[in-house]
Amino acid sequence: MENTQTKKTIFSGIQPSGQLCIGNYLGAMQNWVKLQDDYNCLYCIVDMHAITVRQNPAELRRRSLETLALYLAVGLDPTKNIMFIQSHVPAHAELAWVLNCYAMFGELSRMTQFKDKSATHADNVNAGLFTYPVLMAADILLYQTDLVPVGQDQKQHLELSRDIAERFNGVYSETFKIPDPYIPKEGTKILSLNEPTKKMSKSDLSGGSVFLLDDRNTIIKKIKRAVTDSGSEIKFADGKDGINNLLTIYSCFTNKSIHEAEKEFEGKGYGDFKLAVGEVTADALGKIQEEFKRYLSDKDNLNKILKDGSERAAYMARKTLSKVYKKVGFYSI
């Protein structure tokens, strides 16, 4: 067995709310698969984060299991990664409370995601929504994480995690490792098919997102309806957000460069191009869906993976939490 001590630790997670889309797959999960041999990876299903917005309980439970099945279906190996559900490791909530006492009110009120979600869910601006980034800091710092794969929208939260860790270390001596962002070389941001200036979202039900479990016809139909521009040239260029987005999707699913894709569609119209993008997307997702169904049909195996993952995660988390409790002065028997 390889010496895991020499490998750096990576932590990342996805909420089991909404439906995972190709933005999640191409922007995050595909890269996770590439990291599993070279790093100690913890991939969490962050159900505690999900409840800052009201969830249907039965649906949350179902999606938590489906998210694990999708992790496995895209190629994450349970023998190489620790995969678990956040609420199965109580140390996340326990450390979050301590870190709340080292996070400043002003810092949290400046978080853009809090402002955005408060506007979207004006009838439910709860304290959890406000302290959400502190729970995220606990997720990361519990495992002495070296690297966190982050998109643009989570960069601010990682900065806060670093600030809290440095503040705590400054008061109590070295306790937490200061995590760095992991930006993959081929970082891919997939945009909405309807509004190609906005990120594709797993909660968008307007047709702007292609979900990993969409059927073939739905995928092709959604991509055929994608917003483009008034031109006819299939070229990656400023002001051609819709075409740029479709070229990116095509390039990701075919492993061709943008330049190769442009050459392939030289002289062809948007209709032919969109059909080709739809087909390669549907082909790739079809394979993932087959694997997903296979994993989902064996609930005992999924529960075993979660049990094993949460035990391994809890062991690591407990070491950090014990250290923190001792440093802040909590009495232990």
Residues carrying an active site annotation: 117, 199, 202
Q: Which has the closest alpha carbon to 307: 12, 143, 83, 32? A: 83
Contact 107, 137 (CB under 8 A): no
Distance of CA 242 to the CA centre of its chain: 23
φ and ψ of 27, to 5 deg: -85, -25
Tokens of residue 100, six digits: 């709340």
The C-alpha atoms of residue 181 and residue 74 are separated, in whole angstroms, by 23
Q: How far is CA 12 from the centre of its chain?
A: 6
Distance (Å, rounded) from C-alpha 205 to C-alpha 315? 39
Query: What single string gives the DSSP state of each residue in 133-152?
Result: HHHHHHHHHTTT-SEEE--G
For residue 327, give every residue at least 6 positions away whose Cβ sits within 8 Å of its Cβ, in sequence order, or none: 172, 173, 175
